[in-house]
Structure 1
C-alpha cells in the first residue's frame, strides 16, 4: 500500500520492485568499481595481480607470490625490518621533501635522444620485497623517454632463483613498454663484490648516462629531471641526489639535510661536512661536494669509463666512492649534490653481508677491517702523494697489508689526464681536510718502545698495547692548545695527586691548562706540573721528573709535523 492509500496492482508492483532492485545493483556495482579504483590509486598497483605471457598461456603472478619465495632469514640478517618491508607493497606514497622552490620552476631538460639513462643496480642477499620496491619506484617515477635500460647484477646471492622470478614478474609489469625499455639481468656465479658488479653493469650499459643505485632505495617524484638539467651543463660533471634517510626499523621516510656535503678524514672514512651558504646562495641550489655517499651517483658513461671506472683492484666493498671522488676532482671533473632530486635510502647500522678473508696473515684483523685497509691503502698510494703519511700515521697496520699489483696504471692515467696533485684537492676542493692537517703538530699512534699508548673503548682505561691492534688509539696533538686528543675527543690530562686522566677535551682556559702538553725531544712535558709522562714499569703510567735520556719517557708519534725541541 502506498502513502495515498491506494493498493498497487500486482504487475505494477512487480515492475517497481524490479526497477528498485536494478537501481540497487547499479549502485552496488558503482561502489565496487569506485572502491577498487581507489585501492589501486592508493597503493599504486601494489596489490594488483600482474601477468606475463609464456608457452602455456596467460599466468597471473602476484607480487606477494614473488616475495613469498624470500629465503627464511632473521631481520638481523638484512639489517632492516623485513616483516614491515614485506607488507608495504611494491610502491607507496612518499612525502615531498624538496624545497618549495624546486616545485615552482620548470627544469631545462636536454633532448631525450641524447640523454638516455642506464640504471645499474647490483645487490647481494637483498630481500625480495626491498629490491622490488626499489625497481618499481624507479619505473613508476622516471620519465619513460629518458629511461633507456635497467641493468641488475646479482652478486652471488643465496636466493638463486631471484633473478629468474623477477624477470617473469617484470615481463607482466612492463608488458606495454617492454619494447622500449631494455632489461639486462646478470648473475655472478661466485661473490665478486659491489665494486666489480657495478663495473660489470657499466660495461654492459649503452645509455648516455649511467646511474648507480643501491638495492634498498625508493626514488621520489621528479628525481631525475634536476639531475639531467645539471649534467647537460657539463659533460665532466657527476651528480648525486640528496639522500633522504629511510629508518631501517620503522621504514619511515624522512627529510635529508641539504646543509651537508660529503667528505672524508685522513683514515679515509666517509663523513658528512657542514655546508656554508655563499652570498645569495639558496639551500635548494645544487652545490659542489668533495665526495659523495657511495650508494647513488650519476654521470656520463663515457666519462666514467675514461676515468677507468671504479678501481678494479679494490675488493668487495669500501672506499670506491672516495677513490672515484678524488679521481674526478683531480682529473678535470666535479661532483655536485642536487637537493631538488630526492631518493630515499636505508642506511644500515652495520654490514648485512660477510667479507671473505683477504690473506693468511695473522694481524688480529677481521675480514671487513682487512678489506677496508687494503682498499684504503690503494687509494693512499695512488692519489694522496706525500700526504699518504697521514693515512699511515693513523692506520699503521695498513703498512703490513699486502698488495698484489703496482700503480703503473694509475700513474699512466694521471699523466694522460694531466691530473692535479693531491695538494690541489686540499686547497681548492676540501679545505676542511687541509685545515685538520694544519692544526696538528703531531698525530697517529704514540709509541713507547715496542708498545703504544691505548685508551680502551669500553672504559677509557689507559694501557700500553700492541701498536698493531685494529682499534689502536690514534692521538692528535693540537698545535694551538697543546691538547693531546683521541678521535673520540677525549684529552690526556693530569688531575689531583698527579693522577693521569682522560676526560672530554676542555673548552675553557682552566680545563685546557690541565690538558696542555709540550714536546721536549720525544718526551711529553705537562705544562702545568713540569713533569713528564713516564712508563717505569710494564703497563704503569705516571708523572715523574723529566730525565733527558730515559727510554721509559720517550713517546714517539707516528707522524710529527713540527721539529722536536
Structure 2
C-alpha cells in the first residue's frame, strides 16, 4: 500500500486538478489519497462531492502544513508516504517513479522535480518559480540531495515515524528541519528528476512581493538554527546588516546563472520575469535582515 498525503487550506481553486492528477496515476498497485484540510471555503465540499474515495480530515481551525501532514500520516496505511501540495498537479507516472526507486534502493527519502504549473505568459508566476525551485529543475541529473521540498517528496514510513514527523515549531520550513534531522541520523535523500509535479505560483505582483519578504525572514530564522550555507551571516546582526544590501543581487545572479545553464528557454521566453524576480528579492532582503535581528546574535 502506498499513501499520498496532501495538506490543504482554502484550496477550492486547485484541489480538483490536484486530485484528478492523482486519480489517474499509472502505478500498478494499491494506493490511497488523504487530504488533511483546514479550509473555510468550498474545498471540503468539492472533495466530498467529486472525490468520495478520498479520505478527508477536516480541522475547524487553520492548521499548519506540518501538523496536517502528520495527521494524514497517522491515518494512513502505506509503507511509503508520498507528499504533494494542494496547489500542485502530479505527472501521470509520478507515483510510479517514486515507488520504483523505493523498491530498488534503500534511500530513506526520494523526491522529484518541480515544473511551473501556471499559464506560460505569466511572468510573476515565472519569477516565483525561479525564486523557489531553481534547485529542483527536471533537467538536473539524479543524485543525492540535502533537501527536497514536501510538495514532491516521499519517505519510508518507518523512518518518518522514527523521527517523529514534522515539527510545527519550524513552520513553514518544517520540511527543511525534518530533512536535516533525517540526514543527521544517517539517512539519505535521493533526487529523481523524472518524478515531476507542476506547482501553481502566485500570479499577482503584490502577493508575490509580500510572500518574498516572508520567505526572506523565515530563511534567516532557519539559518540561525541549522548549520547550512549562510548561517554565519544570519547568526550575526552585524554581518546580516552588512550583507543585506548585497544578498538580493547575489541570489538574483545565482538564479539567473542556474537557469542559463539548465533552462535557457525560460531566460529567452520570459525576460520580464527576471525584472520581477529582482524586484521581489528586495523585500526578500528586508525580510532576511528582520529575521536575523529577531533574537540577537547567536
Once the two structures are TM-superposed, the CA of residue 146 in structure 1 deviates from its matched residue by: 3.4
Q: 1:153 aligns to what?
A: 36
**Rg larger for:** 1
Q: 1:203 aligns to what?
A: 74
Once the two structures are TM-superposed, the CA of residue 240 in structure 1 deviates from its matched residue by: 1.2
SS in 2 for 1:228: helix
Q: Does 1:272 align with 2:150?
A: no
TM-score w.r.t. length of structure 2: 0.67
Question: What do the CA deviations read for 1:42-86 (whole angstroms, capped 9, x no partner)?
Answer: xxxxxxxxxxxxxxxxxxxxxxxxxxxxxxxxxxxxxxxxxxxxx
Answer whether contact 1:270 1:322 (CA < 8 A) is retained: no
Q: 1:120 aligns to what?
A: 5
SS in 2 for 1:340: strand
Once the two structures are TM-superposed, the CA of residue 388 in structure 1 deviates from its matched residue by: 5.1
> Please, which of 88, 106, 110 is the counterpart of residue 217 of structure 1?
88
Answer whether contact 2:10 2:43 (CA < 8 A) is retained: no
Instruction: Assess, with a 3 A threshold, how the Cα gap between structure 1 residues 248 and 284 changes in structure 2: closer, same or farther.
Output: closer
Instruction: Assess, with a 3 A threshold, how the Cα gap between structure 1 residues 292 and 337 changes in structure 2: closer, same or farther.
Output: same
Answer whether contact 1:248 1:348 (CA < 8 A) is retained: no
Q: 2:246 aligns to what?
A: 486
Q: 2:50 aligns to what?
A: 169
Give the whole-Å Cα distance in 1 for the aligned partners of 2:196 and 2:249. 34
SS in 1 for 2:55: strand
Question: What do the CA deviations read for 1:151-175 (whole angstroms, capped 9, x no partner)?
Answer: 11112x221x53244223224xxxx
Runs ≥4 in structure 1, deviation > 6 angstroms? none
Question: What do the CA deviations read for 1:88-146 (whole angstroms, capped 9, x no partner)?
Answer: xxxxxxxxxxxxxxxxxxxxxxxxxxxx2111111111124x21111011111242523
Q: 1:91 aligns to what?
A: none
Structure (1 or 2) with the greater strand fraction: 1
Structure 1 segments unaligned to the other structure (5+ residues): 1-115, 172-177, 252-259, 261-268, 276-282, 356-365, 397-441, 447-473, 476-484, 491-503, 505-557, 560-565
Q: Does 1:338 align with 2:198?
A: no
Q: 1:300 aligns to what?
A: 156
User: How do residues 23-62 of structure 1 correspond to structure 2 at under 5 angstroms?
Assistant: none
Once the two structures are TM-superposed, the CA of residue 351 in structure 1 deviates from its matched residue by: 5.9
SS in 2 for 1:322: helix
Question: What do the CA deviations read for 1:16-44 (whole angstroms, capped 9, x no partner)?
Answer: xxxxxxxxxxxxxxxxxxxxxxxxxxxxx
Q: What do you get for the CA RMSD once the two structures are aligned?
A: 3.9
Q: 1:64 aligns to what?
A: none
Once the two structures are TM-superposed, the CA of residue 248 in structure 1 deviates from its matched residue by: 5.1
Once the two structures are TM-superposed, the CA of residue 270 in structure 1 deviates from its matched residue by: 6.3
Give the whole-Å Cα distance in 2 for the aligned partners of 1:230 and 1:291. 17
Answer 1 or 2: higher relative contact order, Cα 8 Å, separation at least 6. 2
SS in 2 for 1:445: helix
Answer whether contact 1:208 1:300 (CA < 8 A) is retained: yes
> Please, which of 107, 110, 121 is the counterpart of residue 239 of structure 1?
110
Give the whole-Å Cα distance in 2 for the aligned partners of 1:220 and 1:133. 11
Answer whether contact 1:290 1:325 (CA < 8 A) is retained: yes
Answer whether contact 1:120 1:150 (CA < 8 A) is retained: yes
Instruction: Assess, with a 3 A threshold, how the Cα gap between structure 1 residues 191 and 335 changes in structure 2: closer, same or farther.
Output: same
Give the whole-Å Cα distance in 2 for the aligned partners of 1:336 and 1:293. 12
SS in 2 for 1:291: coil
Give the whole-Å Cα distance in 2 for the aligned partners of 1:344 and 1:200. 24
Question: What do the CA deviations read for 1:479-512 (whole angstroms, capped 9, x no partner)?
Answer: xxxxxx711348xxxxxxxxxxxxx9xxxxxxxx
Instruction: Assess, with a 3 A threshold, how the Cα gap between structure 1 residues 214 and 392 changes in structure 2: closer, same or farther.
Output: same
Structure (1 or 2) with the greater helix fraction: 2
Give the whole-Å Cα distance in 1 for the aligned partners of 2:17 and 2:105. 32
Q: Does 1:372 align with 2:185?
A: no
Q: 1:384 aligns to what?
A: 227
Once the two structures are TM-superposed, the CA of residue 372 in structure 1 deviates from its matched residue by: 2.6
* Number of aligned residues: 243
Give the whole-Å Cα distance in 2 for the aligned partners of 1:219 and 1:142. 11
Q: 2:240 aligns to what?
A: 444
TM-score w.r.t. length of structure 1: 0.38
> Please, which of 19, 22, 25 is the counterpart of residue 135 of structure 1?
19
Q: 1:313 aligns to what?
A: 169
Q: 1:227 aligns to what?
A: 98
Structure 2 segments unaligned to the other structure (5+ residues): 123-129, 254-295
Answer whether contact 1:319 1:376 (CA < 8 A) is retained: no
SS in 1 for 2:235: helix
Question: What do the CA deviations read for 1:416-451 (whole angstroms, capped 9, x no partner)?
Answer: xxxxxxxxxxxxxxxxxxxxxxxxxx94324xxxxx
